[in-house]
Amino acid sequence: MNKWMFYPKMAWINIKKNGKIYFPYILTCIGTVLMFYNICAIAENKGTAQLAGAMLVQVILRLGIAIIGLFAIIFLFYTNSFLMKRRKKELGLYNILGMGKRHIAKMMFCETVMIAFVSLILGIGLGIALNKLLFLVLLKLMGESNIPFGFEINWVGLKWTLILFGIIFVLILISNLWKIRLSHPIELLHGDQTGEREPKTKIVMTIIGILFMGAGYYLALKVSSPMDAIGIFFIAVICVIVGTYALFTAGSIAFLKLLRKNKHYYYKTNHFVSVSSMIYRMKQNAVGLANICILSTMVLVVLSSTVSLYGGLEDALNAQFIRQLQSEINMTDLGQKEAIQKDIQEAAEKTEDKITDLLSYYYFEEYMLEEDGHFQYQRLMTMDATYYIALIPESQYERINGTTLDLKEDEIYYYTGNAKKLDHAIQIMDIPLKVKGVLEEISNADSSIIAYDSYFIVASDSTVEQIRQQMIQAAQKEKGQIRDLDYSYYIGANVTKENVETVIDSWNRSLSGNNYELGIFQDIYTTGPELKAMYGGFFFLGLFLGTLFLMATVLIIYYKQISEGYEDQKRFEIMQKVGMSRREIKKAIGSQVLIVFFLPLVTACIHIIGAFKMISRLEMALGLSNIQIFVWCTILVAAVFAVIYALVYLWTAREYYKIVQAS
Amino acid sequence: MALLEVKNLKKIYTTRFGGNQVQALKNVNFSVEKGEYIAIMGESGSGKTTLLNILASLDKPTSGTVLLSGKNLTTIKEKDISAFRRDNLGFVFQDFNLLDTFSLEDNIFLPLVLSGKTYSEMNDRIRPLAKKLGIEDILKKYPYEVSGGQKQRCAVARALITKPQIVLADEPTGALDSRSTDELLKLFSDIHEDGQTILMVTHSTRAASCASRVLFIKDGEVFHQIYRGDMTDQKMYQKISDTLTVLATGGEPHE
């Protein structure tokens, strides 16, 4: 044999011989390379920069690059450490048979180069092939219709991929060599069968786990307004992650030991073997299972929220746009109202043939603090008691709806979509009010606001003004607070897409340059595609990350099953000798494996249920008003995920039994 | 009637593709009376372990019968075999085969738990046994926390706790130092005196010299046997050594 070919050949044989553990590893490498190249290529594509809402989409995708890159590093290191553990014996044997550490290093260098080469070539190759498809998916999701054709290689993506994975592979090689350098051959030889101690019960850790988990859930369930949700979300997520790790590692063992203490429960044929080996199983697998659990939760959260955001796009648009074209005028004084009304009328007449359903009215909106039916001025937003209040003067309501309410000074009607019912008597600022009736619907409400707990209150014109004046006085007592306590004069109409530009121009000319301030006109034809691009980008990233996390989950499960298999082999043998039948053992082991692998899935689902309220609030903040959609998306995503998870389990369980029964 | 009767036992191993056939047991015949303490000796590859595996119902013979109290082991159905093994046979292995996930006490309880005994009954059984074997103080410990000798004594306890008809021991002293070996052999002699039937496969002349009868196996057949009669351990040892020498050099036994 050629001297130069020795190490490469050896390396090749090693990889082939360890196919059972190397094949999935190489697949993972290829998959990660593929995904990283693609997210880079799409984010840095010239085409992406020309899309509607390109800025935001690029930010979202770049965030994706960071997440995937970080994930690739952690994940490849994790799988590599598993590989090395399995191969310790083999390397020890080489060492004893006369290969120096230097030779082993050369061999491992060749192995790493081969794996890196295969992963990068295939990963990037497939990446380039798939790139077009993925780009098309992104464009489709974003609602873009004119699609550029032709294959291309994204050199920026290529460069980044090569750099990142080059570094990862070098680091992996260095860490492997470091491990080899530090160990004795005998140690290597027995590396995978060092005697195991029974895990200690970590009471403190268990309590910490319970506390963190409790805190996380408490925060998640208590959150009420979307604004709070954003801030609290991260704290709650971190609490739950810490809690999950602590409870999986310490809590599970404490629980099992508690079971073992109960002699009547423990010394039963079914429980005896299961409980005792579960203690060891949890010791070795707790971290891996917690990883799976967190990853699964992420897959579920990311996918269900992005799917529902995307699916609820139409609803969100309809909720936000009472009319297809709309704006608001800032009315500082009631005295302006006739002038504004006249100007709007004139503006509308000029564009008469281009608009329909003109709507204009003024109202007063503010966030208020509620306490026992008493709404007050508030300095800061608080968690529970903040409500959005829109006060609509009686005259305006009657003008829009063409009905008469006949309200006395102290009487109100109200409408709410999501807040609790008001008592008969309430108080706003210093003014006591009586609820005359509840409105079934309110046609002019901007229902995207319904994300907050909100009341739309119709009161007599003078009462509305009185409340506003009291608010202004309360605000003046505060130093350094700038509050917008003006009326808002809404103006909106339905327009066709062709006419929208002309109407905006004309209205802007008619309404600006007066002593009131006109807001920017928004139309559904511009905002719609922008939103679609944004949500499409989110959805795409969600799918992308979901796939990546799923891949990671599958791989961890696979490696767990394999390593469990090798460890259980010996136990299986002994139990058989001592008088357990094959069937009994298979049943005992089967139920343990089942618990171990479905524990993370079940926990992930519980997490999702716990996080549901918080995520739905967040979605509301992003404009999704139809929570029904989110419920169904979550259930759908969870179901699909569970099916995939179960399939992976069945496939890996077969591998597991093959190993266990090899003896 | 003999407690254990082995008749015309034959075992042929076939390689996977049916190419080579290896005859591990050619034609083995012997019987064991209740209360006997039998050692089976032979060189590596003589078929000792195959024989023991068949006696333990872990393996099936190609032909021939094994009767335990008149019941034919080779015809027991697969699903009943574990329960049969659990209730009638006790095992002691060279490498102890204790489960490292159990405390020693739980290791000893294992066969009883599998038979569905209550905790109080198990507890009643382990007390006198632990006292006899001198392992009372280490019952709560784990296998990795005790010495080889202690592990083997626990394995013996596990074998005895089901009150088996016969204890099968496969090189029980193989992994022990000489002091532990002496202790274990003393233990075997004690339980033999209490009336326990023991069948032990061993390489060690020292171990075999404690038995009441020694069978020699060569090339898959019972080649020779020695009865203790009223010989001392010393005399027995001498006689076994002589026989082994003869066995190794290929001559005919001188009896």
CB nearest to B100's CB, from A195, A580, A582? A195
**Contact across the interface for B144 and A264, Cβ inside 8 Å:** no
CB nearest to B91's CB, from A571, A577, A580? A577
Minimal Cα distance from B87: which residue of A?
A579
Q: pLDDT at position B251, please?
A: 59
Among the listed residues B43, B46, B56, the one whose alpha carbon sits nearest the alpha carbon of residue B6: B56
**Contact across the interface for B110 and A276, Cβ inside 8 Å:** no
What residues contact A193, with CB distance under 8 A and at least 6 apart? none
**pLDDT at residue A48 is higher than 60:** yes
The per-residue DSSP string of B37-88 comes to: EEEEE--TTSSHHHHHHHHTTSS--SEEEEEETTEEGGGS-HHHHHHHHHHH
Beta bridge partners, A29, equal none
Distance from CA of B72 to the nearest CA of A (A): 18
pLDDT per residue rounded down to tens, chain B (255 residues): 788 999 998 888 877 666 677 888 888 899 999 999 999 998 877 788 888 888 888 888 888 999 988 888 888 887 788 888 888 888 888 888 888 888 899 999 988 888 888 888 988 999 998 988 889 899 999 888 888 889 999 999 999 998 899 999 988 888 888 888 998 999 999 999 989 999 999 888 888 888 999 998 888 888 888 888 888 888 889 988 888 888 778 755 544
CA distance A396 to A400: 6
**Contact across the interface for B101 and A277, Cβ inside 8 Å:** yes
CA distance A310 to A542: 11
Residues shown for chain B: 255
CA distance A638 to A304: 8
**Contact across the interface for B79 and A581, Cβ inside 8 Å:** yes
Q: pLDDT at position A115, please?
A: 92
**Contact across the interface for A581 and B111, Cβ inside 8 Å:** no
CA distance B62 to A550: 51
Give percent of chain A above pLDDT 70. Answer: 89
Token couple for A223: 């959150």
Distance from CA of A20 to the nearest CA of B (A): 23
**Contact across the interface for B101 and A571, Cβ inside 8 Å:** yes
Minimal Cα distance from B59: which residue of A?
A577
CB nearest to B86's CB, from A263, A573, A579? A579
Interface test with A, best of B94, B110, B118, B120 (most A CBs within 10 A): B110
Q: What is the pLDDT of residues A427-436, one digit of tens each?
A: 888 888 888 8
Neighbours of A651 (CB within 10 A): 14
Q: pLDDT at position A562, please?
A: 79
**Contact across the interface for A579 and B85, Cβ inside 8 Å:** yes
What's the pLDDT band for A653 if we cut at 50, 70, 90?
confident
Q: What is the mean pLDDT of residues A241-252?
A: 90
Distance from CA of B98 to the nearest CA of A (A): 7
Cβ neighbours of B58 in A, within 8 Å? 576-577
What residues contact A564, with CB distance under 8 A and at least 6 apart? A281, A285, A593, A596, A656
Minimal Cα distance from B97: which residue of A?
A574
Q: What is the pLDDT of residues A281-294, one digit of tens each?
A: 787 778 878 888 88
**pLDDT at residue A71 is higher than 70:** yes
Please name the amino acid found at residue A51: L
**pLDDT at residue A213 is higher than 90:** yes
Q: What is the pLDDT of residues A610-642, one digit of tens each?
A: 888 888 877 777 766 667 788 888 898 889 888
Distance from CA of A15 to the nearest CA of B (A): 27
Sheet containing strand B213-218, edge to edge, reads: B71-72, B63-68, B4-14, B21-32, B221-227, B213-218, B37-41, B197-201, B166-170, B89-92
CB nearest to B97's CB, from A198, A264, A577? A577
| Helix spans in B142-219 (H) | 148-160, 178-193, 205-208
**Contact across the interface for B100 and A269, Cβ inside 8 Å:** no
C-alpha separations of B46 from B74, B170, B195, B219 in Å: 22, 14, 30, 5
**Contact across the interface for A578 and B116, Cβ inside 8 Å:** no
Q: What is the mean pLDDT of residues A466-487?
A: 78
What residues contact A511, with CB distance under 8 A and at least 6 apart? A329, A343, A344, A347, A491, A518
**Contact across the interface for B99 and A268, Cβ inside 8 Å:** no
Do strands B21-32 and B4-14 pair parallel, antiparallel, or not at all (unpaired)?
Answer: antiparallel
- Residues A377, A381, A386: CA angle, nearest 5 degrees: 70
What's the pLDDT band for A113 if we cut at 50, 70, 90?
very high
Distance from CA of B140 to the nearest CA of A (A): 12
SS3 letters for A453-522?
Answer: CEEEEEECHHHHHHHHHHHHHHHHHCCCCCCCCCEEEEEEEEECCCCHHHHHHHHHHHHCCCCCEECCCE
**Contact across the interface for B86 and A578, Cβ inside 8 Å:** yes
**Which residue's entry shows tokens 């399939």?**
A647
Using the Cβ of B158 and the Cβ atoms of chain A, whether some distance falls under 8 Å is answered with: yes
What's the pLDDT band for A53 if we cut at 50, 70, 90?
low
Minimal Cα distance from B160: which residue of A?
A578
**pLDDT at residue A187 is higher than 70:** no
Q: What is the pTM of this model?
A: 0.72
Per-domain boundaries in chain A: 1-194, 199-321+524-663, 333-515
What's the pLDDT band for A208 if we cut at 50, 70, 90?
very high
CA distance A387 to A374: 11
Q: pLDDT at position B116, please?
A: 84
**Contact across the interface for A574 and B98, Cβ inside 8 Å:** yes
**Contact across the interface for A580 and B82, Cβ inside 8 Å:** yes
Minimal Cα distance from A279: which residue of B?
B101
**Contact across the interface for A574 and B99, Cβ inside 8 Å:** yes
Q: pLDDT at position A619, please?
A: 77
Report chain A residues touching chain B, CB-CB < 8 A: 195-198, 263-264, 267-269, 272, 276-277, 279-280, 571, 573-584
Among the listed residues A17, A85, A26, A31, the one whose alpha carbon sits nearest the alpha carbon of residue A560: A85
Contact A621, A232 (CB under 8 A): no
Q: pLDDT at position B214, please?
A: 92
Among the listed residues A234, A114, A112, the one whose alpha carbon sits nearest the alpha carbon of residue A175: A112
Contact B166, B35 (CB under 8 A): no
Mean pLDDT, chain A, whole residue set: 82
Beta bridge partners, A359, equal A492
- What are the phi and psi torsion angles at A428 (to 5°)? -115, 125
**Contact across the interface for A197 and B144, Cβ inside 8 Å:** yes
Distance from CA of A186 to the nearest CA of B (A): 19
Contact A46, A152 (CB under 8 A): no
Token couple for B182: 């002496």
Cβ neighbours of B82 in A, within 8 Å? 576, 579-582, 584
Q: pLDDT at position A159, please?
A: 92
**Chain A to chain B Cβ contacts (< 8 Å):** 72
**Which residue's entry shows tokens 């995978």?**
A192
Minimal Cα distance from A193: which residue of B?
B100
Minimal Cα distance from A270: which residue of B?
B114
Q: What is the pLDDT of residues A397-433, one digit of tens each?
A: 888 888 888 888 888 888 877 677 888 888 888 888 8
Interface of B with A in 196-235 (CB under 8 A): none
Cβ neighbours of A196 in B, within 8 Å? 100, 144
SS3 letters for A34-92?
Answer: HHHHHHHHHHCCHHHHCCCCHHHHHHHHHHHHHHHHHHHHHHHHHHHHHHHHHHHHHHH
Cβ neighbours of A197 in B, within 8 Å? 142, 144
Cβ neighbours of A576 in B, within 8 Å? 58, 82
Model ipTM value: 0.75
First to last CA, chain A: 36
C-alpha separations of A298 from A150, A234, A567 in Å: 35, 13, 30
CB nearest to A571's CB, from B56, B86, B99? B99
CA distance A56 to A613: 26
**pLDDT at residue A37 is higher than 60:** yes
Do strands B37-41 and B63-68 pair parallel, antiparallel, or not at all (unpaired)?
Answer: unpaired
C-alpha separations of A198 from A350, A566, A596, B27, B40 in Å: 86, 19, 18, 47, 38
Interface test with B, best of A274, A578, A586, A592 (most B CBs within 10 A): A578
Interface test with A, best of B53, B78, B82, B125 (most A CBs within 10 A): B82
Q: pLDDT at position A119, please?
A: 93
Distance from CA of B94 to the nearest CA of A (A): 12
**Which residue's entry shows tokens 């006198």?**
B128
Interface of B with A in 80-139 (CB under 8 A): 81-83, 85-86, 91, 93, 97-102, 106, 109-111, 113-114, 116, 118-119, 122
Contact B68, B4 (CB under 8 A): yes
Distance of CA A249 to the CA centre of its chain: 25
**Which residue's entry shows tokens 């506003």?**
A468
Q: pLDDT at position A452, please?
A: 63
CA distance A554 to A541: 20
Contact B74, B85 (CB under 8 A): no
CA distance A658 to A649: 14
Q: What is the mean pLDDT of residues A248-256?
A: 90
Q: pLDDT at position A280, please?
A: 81
Q: What is the mean pLDDT of residues A45-49?
A: 73
Class of residue B139 by CB neighbours under 10 A (exposed 0-12, middle 13-18, buried 19+): middle
CA distance A223 to A117: 50
Cβ neighbours of B106 in A, within 8 Å? 272, 276
